[in-house]
Structure 1
Amino acid sequence: MSGDYKNMVTRPMKVLFFANTEWYLFNFRLALAKHLRKRGVEVVMISPPGPYGKKLEEEGFRWIPVPMARRSLNPLREAWLLWKLIRIYQTEKPDIVHHFTIKCVVYGGLAARLVGIKGIVGAVAGMGFVFASSSALATMLRPMVRVLLQLALGGKKCRLILQNPDDLNAFVSASIADPANVRLIPGSGVNTDRFSPILKSSASEGSKKVLLAARLLWEKGIAEYIEAAQQLKTLGYSVDFLLAGEPDMGNPNSVQQEQVETWKQAGIIKPVGHVVDMAELLKSIDIMVLPSFYREGVPRSLIEAAAAGLPIVTTDAPGCRDIVENGVNGFLVPVRDSNALAEALRKILEDPALASRMGEAGRSKALAEFDERLVFEKTVEVYRELVPKL
């Protein structure tokens, strides 16, 4: 038996994760990586440089920085990124590559196909700026990105993971992916032990607390949230409206920090910035809000809120309506309708029994559909379709 053959047989399975930020890998995919490691799989992480790369390494994973700029349209820079990925894939020789977000799916998929990787998985959480925005830049880029996605996701050894049926219909109708190779997995899952309800007294002192937690993009419904907060404050409601998250300088539709400060000075909201421990913050929250028209996948913040037993107010939009059943565990309101948002919040604020029933229903839904252990097993099933020995 040759040495090369022996190494091929005995070496552990290797899965390579590639995302557009190291923050995403740490916050949304670290638990999956740990699950795979427990099964004897080696997991290697790739992303642009950033402070969370060191945190990934502290968790015991190899992390490889790559020169990727999310907003870059420079052909030379993009070609250099593709070449770097090809070299990494040739060196690492992973059994499966798992790419997150559209740009990583495109570049990672092209590199993997050129190298001949056995299993290629693309995960897209929502349609993203190129497909969701009506701006001139997005409109210009859309045809090119569609063709690149078709190339990156072509072949029997490729799988595309989407988070909701609306995105599935969009990708199939645009002929981006073969429906036979698409799998629906609702989000990255949530640790339902860590995110769990706490008993709150209906007669507790102080203001009620409402939270919007998201990247600070206008499409997340930030303006509608501000308008609804102003309405309820004008009507005399004692409510603290919290805004968690930071501007996303990699997105042209980001809310500017100066605007957040203006709202704070006007007494409309209380910004809390980047939240390290969301589970702890949710213990003090009464209602979660996400008035998004972003074309979400399945919003992580709403899954966490449901697991924490909070009533939710969100929009009747893709991804959001996969978490909330209107009138059961929250309310669905029309997109860009601050009046409807304010009215839904008012109903919950005035009816503690309703809030409690909605929270209990949300917790049950999170346990049945969004527990991270369910997501891990569904992901492993996709891997096994491509590499049965896993």
Structure 2
Amino acid sequence: MKTKVAIIGTTAQTLLVFRADLIKQLIKEGITVFAFAMDFDELSMERIRKLGATPVAYSLSRYGLNPAADLIHAWQLSRKLRDFQIDIVFSYFSKPVIFGGLAARLAGVKRCVGMLEGLGYTFTPTQQFSFKRWFARHVQVLLYRCILPRLDKVIFLNKDDQHDLLERHCIKVKDALVLGAIGLDLNDYGYSPAPQSPFRFIFIGRLLEEKGILFYLNAAEAIKKIHPDVVFTVLGQMEKKGNSKKLTERFLKCQSEGVIEFPGQVDNVAEWLTLSSVFVLPSYYREGFPRSTQEAMAVGRPVITTNVPGCRDSVIDGSTGFIVEPNDVQALIDKMLWFIENSEAVESMGRAGREFAVLYYDAEKINTRLIQAIFDN
């Protein structure tokens, strides 16, 4: 009888973007895969089926904390796991790890592995104290204390996350692994030299303050005054939750004044990267290991990012790009101007980035390690 693996995530989009290569590799190895998401529609379910997996819809609030509702949803999820006779549960992101892990134990699943792709919003430092964030972090740590020791393995994407969660909060687990990058299908991100003109910076990510979008806008406005022909592209979706009215108004103003171009959320990220010169991610969010920096390096684009966990792990400072301090807009502007004035470095650093991506961001190699971690006793 084939081993049955349940992959429990949040949205269908995260399954299709982040887990498609893993699903295909598991299917190739003869594993029966059930892909769980909260928001399946007919189109996304059909795309999951084309990968060879069975889509399964389940309920769990993506944001906030409602203990009664979350526990009911965990119980409902456990019944689905029992009905499908799942052998192994692999969950990723915070709430699926916590409540998917609880559901797996309630269902008597033989093996349960959780992967935390960054510590997220509650662990992101802010300049002003927020009681709401402080309280949410303490509740989240309490839940981790209850669940993580009961998982067979906990996977992190960088060492800082492992230290700041397990060691700092004295959480004992059976086994832990630092995986690093989640990887890409490099066939989808082929190398190409950067275009000669116009010089184009690009930001890709959720449009949250913590992701550094405001710093990117500030830098764009400053550089436009010196180099009006430089183009600043933003790809992503404006988040309704977690953004201030001030940021939304500022973003719309920059768009209307032509400071930035904003195609929104696109499916052809690689094509937009090949049209660009340098990728910029001025995030201070508690990233796991940003996919966007991997994508940029894979197509041969240097990266400017910040000295925060996850981001700093993805770039070799001075070789494949630059690392600046978070919240330092002037340092960001200086590095962006340096690339404009030293355009030959775009190609040399871009090539170094592509070589690094081939060595360390190949999804097939990384998923081989991940599958071994999921199955290894």
TM-score interval for Structure 1 and Structure 2 normalised by the shorter chain: over 0.9
Matched, 1:124 2:116: yes
- Alpha carbons 1:260, 1:271 under 8 Å: kept: no
Q: Secondary structure at the match of 1:279?
A: helix
Matched, 1:199 2:189: no
- Alpha carbons 2:181, 2:360 under 8 Å: kept: no
The CA deviation at 1:179 is 6.2
Residue number in structure 2 paired with 1:352: 343
- TM normalised by structure 2 equals 0.93
- Alpha carbons 1:47, 1:64 under 8 Å: kept: yes
Count of aligned residue pairs for this structure pair: 371
Residue number in structure 2 paired with 1:29: 19
Separation of aligned partners in 1, 2:298 and 2:227:
30
Separation of aligned partners in 2, 1:76 and 1:319:
33
Matched, 1:102 2:59: no
Q: Secondary structure at the match of 2:155?
A: strand
Separation of aligned partners in 2, 1:160 and 1:342:
38
Residue number in structure 2 paired with 1:90: 82
Separation of aligned partners in 2, 1:12 and 1:315:
44
- Alpha carbons 1:149, 1:176 under 8 Å: kept: no
The CA deviation at 1:382 is 0.5
Unaligned runs of 5+ in 1: 1-10
- Alpha carbons 1:29, 1:188 under 8 Å: kept: no
Residue number in structure 2 paired with 1:161: 155
The CA deviation at 1:56 is 1.7
Matched, 1:331 2:326: no
The CA deviation at 1:276 is 0.3
Separation of aligned partners in 2, 1:145 and 1:16:
23
After superposition, what is the alpha-carbon deviation per residue over 1:104-143, rounded to whole angstroms, capped at 9, x for unaligned? 1110011112222121111111111122255322211222
Separation of aligned partners in 1, 2:29 and 2:213:
41
The CA deviation at 1:72 is 4.0
Task: Give, as a single letter, the amino acid of the residue that structure 2 aligns with 1:312.
Answer: V
- Alpha carbons 2:149, 2:173 under 8 Å: kept: no
After superposition, what is the alpha-carbon deviation per residue over 1:243-265, rounded to whole angstroms, capped at 9, x for unaligned? 1000234x424787655322201
Residue number in structure 1 paired with 2:136: 141
- Alpha carbons 1:296, 1:319 under 8 Å: kept: yes
Change in 2 beyond 3 A, CA 1:352/1:137: same
Q: Secondary structure at the match of 1:142?
A: helix
Query: Stretches of 4+ moved more than 4 A in 1?
Result: 254-259
Residue number in structure 2 paired with 1:300: 291
Q: Secondary structure at the match of 2:326?
A: coil
- Alpha carbons 1:247, 1:254 under 8 Å: kept: no
Separation of aligned partners in 2, 1:29 and 1:252:
26
Matched, 1:380 2:361: no
After superposition, what is the alpha-carbon deviation per residue over 1:140-190, rounded to whole angstroms, capped at 9, x for unaligned? 1222221211222214x5111111111111122234643661111123211
Separation of aligned partners in 2, 1:146 and 1:122:
15
Separation of aligned partners in 1, 2:66 and 2:297:
42
Matched, 1:73 2:65: yes
Change in 2 beyond 3 A, CA 1:331/1:237: farther
Task: Give, as a single letter, the amino acid of the residue that structure 2 aligns with 1:137.
Answer: K
Task: Identify the match of residue 257 of structure 2 among 228, 245, 266.
Answer: 266
Matched, 1:182 2:176: yes
After superposition, what is the alpha-carbon deviation per residue over 1:261-284, rounded to whole angstroms, capped at 9, x for unaligned? 222012211112111011122111
- Alpha carbons 2:7, 2:36 under 8 Å: kept: yes
Task: Identify the match of residue 64 of structure 1 among 39, 43, 56.
Answer: 56
After superposition, what is the alpha-carbon deviation per residue over 1:175-221, rounded to whole angstroms, capped at 9, x for unaligned? 464366111112321112221211345xx3x4211110001110010
Q: Percent identity of the aligned residues? A: 30
- Alpha carbons 2:24, 2:52 under 8 Å: kept: no
Separation of aligned partners in 1, 2:312 and 2:173:
22
The CA deviation at 1:290 is 0.1
- Alpha carbons 2:302, 2:350 under 8 Å: kept: yes
Task: Give, as a single letter, the amino acid of the residue that structure 2 aligns with 1:347.
Answer: W
Change in 2 beyond 3 A, CA 1:72/1:319: closer
Matched, 1:276 2:271: no
Separation of aligned partners in 1, 2:249 and 2:96:
31
- TM normalised by structure 1 equals 0.90
